[in-house]
Structure 1
Amino acid sequence: MLVVATASARGVPPKRRHVITSTSGSRFFGWKLLILLCVSLSCVLVLAALFSLHSSYLSDADSSNHFKVTRSTVSRTFHGPPKIAFLFLVRQNIPLDFLWHVFFKNGNVAKFSIYVHSAPGFVLDESTTRSSFFYRTQISNAIQVSWGESSMIQAERLLLAAALDDPANQRFVLLSDSCVPLYNFSYVYNYVMVSQRSFVDSFLDVKDGRYNPKMSPKIPRERWRKGSQWFTVVRSHAEVIVDDDVIFPVFNRHCKRRPPIDNRKGKLNLKLQKQHNCIPDEHYVQTLLAMHDLEGQLERRTLTYTLWNQSTTKMENKGWHPITFSYANASPQRIKEMKGINHVYYETEFRTEWCRANLTSVPCFLFARKFSKGAAMRLLSDEVVGHFQVSAMLDTPP
């Protein structure tokens, strides 16, 4: 901005005001004005470039922030015993709440916390669950979850973030709405707490169908892992999962489930079926921890038993799916067999994982899925998870 100060403004008589009247003076003034205009134009162009760059940066930042899970900064100090945070990732209610009620009732309330991710807006209270342990345990920032999409692992991260707000929570166990405990609370607590390692099913995925080359270089092929989504992690690893704003966006963009065949789409199905069939929840935690060089701090196995239907017919039509245990096939003998498993073999790595906790041989599994209500009732009647009163189960369920 060009400012001309008048003589009167400075207390100088008007006759002493300097005015350029000569031809050379006019030429000098013209050059000065031209230079000023050029400088101004250059500033405008520079500012425009900076604005464009800033806008691009903000756009990238917003994209990154979209995937961040916020958690409050809390002190790591706490009073009382360390706790296990039981994280239930469910569709809506908890159908096996009656079994878990007995499990928690026979435990120490000072040694556990419960967090539930359910459908947004759903409330666990006296009208929706028969167990008071689940009252108002659902997290407030729940999202809509779809199987085979990144929303599944985002829900896991939200559960972990909520549980991390309590510094007493030192272990974090992810469970589904069809999971059951195979032991009483005391056994589960001692098993999990004695180990300083996380339990994460993780192995090399050598097939080409899941890994998308577009993930490189942020996720190199040699760090790509696969495994069960049902994990038990220590606090430091839970923090790594929640604080991640690098790997999750890559999964959200490039790890997608292949759409099912739709006869209405005709030849388009051929193109769609060539896409990578990536199931995010079977890769994310495993790959993330591998990227952070944390595999040496893991027991590379899950604590949740699953029996897979591996029939050829099922594989051709739908792929492998877990078998649901009913009352009939949840016999004491079957439960004993589950609890007797002491190793897991990983074919892609020619690795036998002998089940240990703090270098001591232990049964591999503390939980199992998928169990029907009938199968859960049989576990109660056999007092697998602890003593219970039959009269307490006679109330009409919500």
Structure 2
Amino acid sequence: MIEAERRLLANALLDNSNRRFILLSEACIPLFNFPTIYNYLMKSTKTFVEAYDLQGLVGRGRYNKLMKPQIKLRQWRKGSQWFELDRQLAIEIVADNKYLPLFKRFCKATCCSDEHYLPTFVSMKFWRRNSNRSLTWVDWSKGGLHPAKFGRTKVTIDLLKKMRNGSHCMYNGKTTNICYLFARKFLPSALDRLLRVAPKLMNFYS
């Protein structure tokens, strides 16, 4: 999966006009209109790769000590694979031939590279330029290995407002309630409801 992400970045980098790079899935939706998302990203002084130090089996428990000395346990990080990068960081990821080989060799079985490679790599090398958060809203409140899914009956204006403005975070050194630009996981059955409520709420047609 990491190789696939790197190939996507490498192809996107071929266009010199591309300055920001976002990974989304087919289950993601935008929470704001294009001008809002574009301005938020282009004016940001940070990249958005979620990274945190998690104890337990699905955090530090996935670390392989054979990665030392290049990667130490205290440097091991976990996070969402749904990233937003600037051009400089995208180039560094595509060019990395030091840390990715370690993940290929030693991050196997229960170790999920897509949850650890970028968080660890970015935290080790570029932590000053990273926000340590994702721009993609997701609901883990029910626990388990996968986030909550949203079908037609779950899509409401209140839910979308919560995703859009229900959090607080730092943006360019100031506190803001716009922390997420995208959200997941939305099922195909949610499309009709989204098309009816989103234009007015998000000003898609303004």
TM norm structure 1:
0.48
What RMSD, in angstroms, separates the aligned Cα atoms of the two structures? 1.7
Instruction: Quote the residue 1:284 is aligned against.
Output: 117
Task: Say whether the 8 Å CA contact 2:152–2:190 is kept in structure 1.
Answer: yes
C-alpha distance in 2 between matches for 1:372 and 1:362 = 26
Report SS of the residue matched to 1:230. coil
1:362 CA drift (Å): 4.1
1:326 CA drift (Å): 0.6
1:371 CA drift (Å): 0.5
Aligned pairs for 1:196-275 within 5 A: 196-207=45-56, 208-257=60-109
C-alpha distance in 1 between matches for 2:48 and 2:35 = 18
Instruction: Quote the residue 1:173 is aligned against.
Output: 22
Instruction: Quote the residue 2:5 is aligned against.
Output: 156
Report SS of the residue matched to 2:178. coil
C-alpha distance in 2 between matches for 1:221 and 1:249 = 17
1:376 maps onto 2:191 in alignment:
yes
Greater RCO structure (CA 8 Å; 6+ sep): 2
1:360 CA drift (Å): 5.5
Task: Say whether the 8 Å CA contact 2:79–2:116 is kept in structure 1.
Answer: yes
Greater displacement, 213-222 / 202-211? 202-211
Report Cα offsets for 1:306-353 as digits up to 9, x if no partner.
Answer: 112534xxxxxxx4211110111111111111112323xxxxxxxxxx
Report SS of the residue matched to 1:172. strand
1:297 maps onto 2:129 in alignment:
yes
1:359 CA drift (Å): 3.3
Instruction: Quote the residue 2:152 is aligned against.
Output: 327
Report Cα offsets for 1:147-180 as digits up to 9, x if no partner.
Answer: xxxxx11111001000111111111011011111
C-alpha distance in 1 between matches for 2:203 and 2:106 = 42
In structure 2, the gaps of 5 or more residues are: none
Task: Say whether the 8 Å CA contact 1:185–1:385 is kept in structure 2.
Answer: no
Aligned pairs for 1:30-49 within 5 A: none
| Residues 309 and 361 of structure 1, relative CA distance in 2, 3 Å threshold | closer
Matched AA of 1:165: L
Greater displacement, 302-311 / 212-221? 302-311
Percentage of matched positions with identical amino acids: 42
Report Cα offsets for 1:232-263 as digits up to 9, x if no partner.
Answer: 01111101110001111111111113xxxxxx
Matched AA of 1:371: F
C-alpha distance in 1 between matches for 2:173 and 2:20 = 15
| Residues 296 and 373 of structure 1, relative CA distance in 2, 3 Å threshold | same
In structure 1, the gaps of 5 or more residues are: 1-151, 258-276, 312-318, 344-353, 389-398
Report Cα offsets for 1:348-367 as digits up to 9, x if no partner.
Answer: xxxxxx23246352411100
Instruction: Quote the residue 1:182 is aligned against.
Output: 31
Q: Choose 1 or 2 for highest CA Rg.
A: 1
Greater displacement, 358-367 / 326-335? 358-367
C-alpha distance in 2 between matches for 1:362 and 1:163 = 30
Report SS of the residue matched to 1:378. helix
Over 6 Å off, 4+ runs: none
Pick aligned residue for 2:204 from 382, 386, 392 = 386
Aligned length: 200
| Residues 290 and 230 of structure 1, relative CA distance in 2, 3 Å threshold | same
Matched AA of 2:100: F
Report SS of the residue matched to 2:35. helix
C-alpha distance in 1 between matches for 2:170 and 2:157 = 22
Task: Say whether the 8 Å CA contact 1:342–1:355 is kept in structure 2.
Answer: no
Task: Say whether the 8 Å CA contact 2:149–2:187 is kept in structure 1.
Answer: yes
TM norm structure 2:
0.91
